[in-house]
């Protein structure tokens, strides 16, 4: 679905005078069936509501349920907008196919810290094996390209966040999480 959407958007953004379109939200964070797909259209000088409406209608006719946000280049430099933080954390450029943050040599991660104080001892062991692995078998964190910081603390790429969230909720783990942008 995302590949078809990318092809759809690539074929239209330059023709419609859009600098770029950035995908963000649940669709890029690994949610299997997002209700809609968040797209931010970047305009050079002024947002064209006519262009936004035209693109939204074309997308709907192709079966894409888009939630469209708009920004101008000025929003990134002289009139900062709160959406920019989200785009830096999770935005993917339609033009380049790369994460928006990579333009600034930044990588997005989610930092998890958790405690197992309220978990039964046998469940603690199983949970740790799930995350860290056992013997030669890799744990869930490593399989998601994450890294351990310390016992009870790891980072994972932001696009894998929903997978870890599911595990934490299923196991009823007490955890905290923060989104990080790290210089690469």
* Same domain flag for 129 and 179: yes
Q: Say yes or no: 14 and 91 in one domain.
A: yes
In which domain, by residue range, is 65 found? 2-102
User: Strand pairing of 137-138 and 133-134?
Assistant: antiparallel
Q: pLDDT tens digits for 129-172?
A: 999 999 999 999 999 999 999 999 999 999 899 999 999 999 99
Give CA–CA dist 151/121, Å, rounded: 16
Secondary structure (DSSP) of 125-168: HHHHHHHHEETTEEPHHHHTT-EEEETTEEEEEGGGHHHHHHHH
CA distance 28 to 22: 10
176 and 164 in one domain?
A: yes
Structure-token match 């064209």, residue found? 48
- Per the prediction, the chain carries an average pLDDT of 92
Query: Mind listing the pLDDT tens digit for each residue in 30-66?
Result: 666 667 899 999 999 899 999 999 999 999 999 999 9
Name the phi and psi angles at 41, rounded to 5.
Answer: -90, 130
Question: Which CATH number goes with the domain that contains 157?
Answer: 3.30.70
Per-residue pLDDT tens over the stretch 124-141: 999 999 999 999 999 999
**Count of other CB atoms within 10 angstroms of residue 27:** 22
Residues 73 and 7 in one domain: yes
Kindly state whether residues 14 and 88 are assigned to the same domain. yes
Helix ranges, the chain (H): 2-13, 49-61, 73-77, 83-90, 121-132, 140-143, 161-170
- Count up the domains in the chain and report the number: 2
Quote the pTM value. Answer: 0.81
Structure confidence by residue, pLDDT tens digits, 72-111:
998 988 877 889 999 999 999 999 999 999 989 999 999 9
- Does the pLDDT at position 6 exceed 80? yes
Q: Which of 102, 135, 154 is the last residue of a domain?
A: 102
Kindly state whether residues 35 and 95 are assigned to the same domain.
Answer: yes
């Amino acid at each position: 679905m995302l590949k078809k959407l990318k092809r759809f958007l690539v074929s239209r953004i330059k023709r419609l005078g859009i600098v770029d379109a950035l995908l963000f939200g649940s669709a890029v964070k690994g949610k299997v069936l997002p209700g809609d797909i968040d797209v931010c259209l970047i305009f050079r000088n002024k947002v064209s509501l006519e262009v936004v409406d035209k693109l939204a209608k074309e997308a709907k006719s192709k079966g894409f349920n888009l939630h469209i946000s708009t920004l101008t280049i000025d929003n990134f430099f002289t009139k900062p907008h709160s959406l920019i933080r989200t785009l830096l954390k999770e935005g993917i450029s339609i033009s380049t196919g790369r994460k928006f943050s990579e333009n600034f040599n930044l990588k997005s991660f989610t930092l998890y810290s958790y405690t197992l104080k309220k978990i039964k001892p046998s469940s603690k062991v199983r949970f740790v094996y799930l995350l860290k692995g056992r013997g030669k078998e890799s744990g869930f964190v490593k399989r998601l390209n994450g890294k351990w910081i310390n016992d009870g603390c790891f980072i994972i790429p932001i696009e894998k966040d929903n997978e870890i969230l599911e595990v934490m909720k299923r196991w009823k783990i007490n955890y905290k999480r923060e989104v990080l942008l790290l210089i690469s």
